Structure 1
């Protein structure tokens, strides 16, 4: 089933889409579903499932298609890394071959859509929109969720001011300047893009990640003494400090449950063994997305640990929204937007990236049920009013209509 030309139609290009396990995979899925409700004919273009890497069987099929929840999904072949922590060339093949395949698809099928959305990171998805941005034949919206280049430099993947960074900056400048509209998940992210690439601030629209508050909601069940982390177990998260914090707790009836997979999972497992925390730190690996709300409902505390670095000051993990929607008090580390979310929502506590400080906050929340309840109630109320994905998708629909009309 292709997009119906009788109604406004949009193509969404995303590196991740369920069953990929990432915050953006679920975000794109929910956004597409809600855009259908808003009257759009929606087609999603994604590569075969491959994230977290090493968790899926590779395929050589050129295209696989399905229709779900009214959304047409085309899986276009791209390189699929096999190892848990792929080497540089394997990662780059995964990132670059997919948008090149998408570019060919969109050029052959350009009559079937009115607007194209390219979701970044990775920044290479912009390849798929460039022909339309340069020609002006289709409306193009770039959805930016991450300062991917800044993060890559800050985490040591790209040399600071090296050839790789300079080339990536020039490419991203062209993409953002040629796009008709740029959506960002946080205000800090938008300000950073304006400063970096000399963009017109009128071109930037703030559309937060959000959460499905109907699916992520609390029940009346009594939670277990569990501190929960869900999502990518990667380099940007300060999970090492959280594991070490468990060794500082005075009580031993508490479990830190890390749900997900990623590049540093094996390192954290080794750290847990070395600090004799095998019984207090549990690594579940990947679980079906549908099980996450129940897992959160059975926990007492939600964990959103970011490293405190300027390159991540724009970031707000999707998991923080999900915790709050389930009335979990959030323990967060990091600077910038995550700090603003905690303060504005009243749904959690911000703590330094220090194991002892993190342990003190854990102890406080585990002991004080009333504090957990107050923080949880404030967080959920804030999510319903400001971050429900249906509300965010309605705003996106309005942006798409404006871009298409222009």
Structure 2
């Protein structure tokens, strides 16, 4: 079976360090373990290619505005014809430039679709991006089944946190690709509702994230750091990840005086890093900020920790928390007791007092109390960590994620 995996979002480098890049790599690995020959078609290759994907065929197609970007060795590079004007313009010109950039992304994605048609495949699998027509083009021309993987309500996200200049284009591309898809794989129930609300009759399947339990191995049991413990956070440092709450919680836990001292290991980078470093210094919290690291380095860094946190804030009124956080699955696989906000999909992933401790969102005091509880009881840390690892292995492998999608794909084809 030949699978064409399409990632047309220039914000998601295939071989990058962010969670979306890890997701791409793990789905590709799962397809390959299932016996498929996979070729990746993307608008940004990235420069952190893992050794086990060294031989993965990659076709990279860029707009002229991106043609100076770096690429990983082994990629077949092609170029789209679109250009994008530079910055430093007035607001009207800026809007026009933003729309041109969105259209340039569409044109590069269309070129990806043409490349898939030229190369041929048996299944088209695309990670949803805002402006790509690639899936519909390739699946329609080749007459093959297609999967659209939706990880977030990107139109809403773009309008709320960034800028969306041609919302009509984004809406048309979503409708076109969903209509052409045999299956629309959604990462969470809120994403299922979002897709079905926009495209009634879309053939959705719930396929939450998973974890590679061979890449993320368990830490050694019996760590004896009774006087100084480390809590980890993995992810991009953005406001909605709540890292500031974790730093406040560490300070509160340490000020209460009982039990060991906690320190933080913040694994990742992002726009809030400098602010968070200042916050740690002001609070007197010992915190290591590793910066962005390759996915292969994450297990070693987690093994140096005694607990891990997903300290999400209180959701905004009327907003569904749609995420299926990779970090929580990775914490479980590393055999770490997890302290996490009970929002979104987390209560369905984490069993309170069995694989971790659930706390109210946006509550540093509750996180501090959980850290104190873990700090005071080494046997609790070990028990939660052991059960966390067992859950990761038994329930949350990427192979099982892909199996869910493939089963839905097979069922849809048999019905058709």
TM-score > 0.5, shorter chain as reference: yes
Structure 2 CA distance, aligned partners of 1:258 and 1:335? Answer: 21
Task: Indicate whether 1:39 and 2:48 are aligned.
Answer: no
Structure 1 residue 227 displacement after superposition? 0.5
- For residues 345 and 254 of structure 1, do their structure 2 counterparts lie closer, same or farther at Cα, with a shift above 3 Å needed? closer
1:325 aligns with 2:321: no
Asked if structure 1 preserves the Cα contact closer than 8 Å seen for 2:114 and 2:138, the reply is: no
Gaps of 5+ in 1: 1-6, 51-55, 58-63
State how far apart, in whole Å, the 2-side matches of 1:323 and 1:113 are: 36
Aligned mates of 1:345, 1:189 — CA distance in 2: 28
Residue equivalent to 1:207 = 207
Tell me if structure 2 keeps the 8 A contact 1:17–1:25: yes
Q: Corresponding residue for 1:53?
A: none
In the alignment, what sits opposite 1:61? none
Is the aligned partner of 1:123 residue 2:130? Answer: yes
How far did residue 14 of structure 1 move? Answer: 5.2
| SS, match of residue 199 in structure 1 | coil
Q: 1:238 aligns with which of 231, 237, 242?
A: 242
CA distance in 2, matches of 1:391, 1:345: 25
Aligned-residue CA RMSD (Å): 3.5
Quote the residue 1:77 is aligned against.
Answer: 62
Distance 1:294 1:171 in 2: 41
Query: Which residue does the alignment assign to 1:254?
Result: 262
Alignment of 1:127-146 (within 5 A): 127-132=133-138, 137-146=143-152
Deviation at 1:42, TM superposition (A): 0.7
- The residue aligned with 2:344 is 336
Distance 1:227 1:165, change over 3 A: farther
Q: State the 1:48 CA deviation.
A: 3.3
Q: Is the 8 A contact 1:11 1:113 kept in 2?
A: no
Tell me the equivalent position of 2:399. 390
Q: Does 1:29 align with 2:15?
A: no
- Structure 2 residue 191 is matched with structure 1 residue 185: no
- Deviation at 1:170? 5.6
| Maintained 8 Å contact 1:33/1:70 | no
Distance 2:158 2:21 in 1: 20
Measure the CA separation in 2 of the matches of 1:170 and 1:101.
17
Partner of 1:197: 198
Gaps of 5+ in 2: 70-86, 89-93
CA gap 1:76/1:165 in 2 versus in 1, 3 angstroms: closer
| 2:383 alignment partner in structure 1 | 374
Question: Pairwise mapping of residues 89-108 of structure 1 onto structure 2 (< 5 A)?
Answer: 97-108=104-115
Matched, 1:228 2:200: no
Assess if the C-alpha contact under 8 Å between 1:11 and 1:117 holds in 2.
Answer: yes
Distance 1:188 1:172 in 2: 17
Distance 1:101 1:165, change over 3 A: closer
Moved more, 127-136 or 289-298: 127-136
How many residues are aligned here?
A: 375
Q: Which residue of 2 aligns with 1:218?
A: 218
Q: Does structure 2 conserve the Cα–Cα contact (< 8 Å) formed by 1:223 and 1:298? A: no
**Any idea what the Cα deviations from partners look like across 1:7-36, whole Å, max 9, x if unmatched?**
433333253345311122112212212212
Q: How many Å apart are 1:131 and its aligned residue?
A: 2.7
Q: Give the deviation of 1:301 after TM superposition.
A: 0.9
**Which structure has the greater CA radius of gyration?**
2
Shift in CA distance, 175/215, structure 1 to aligned 2, threshold 3 Å: same
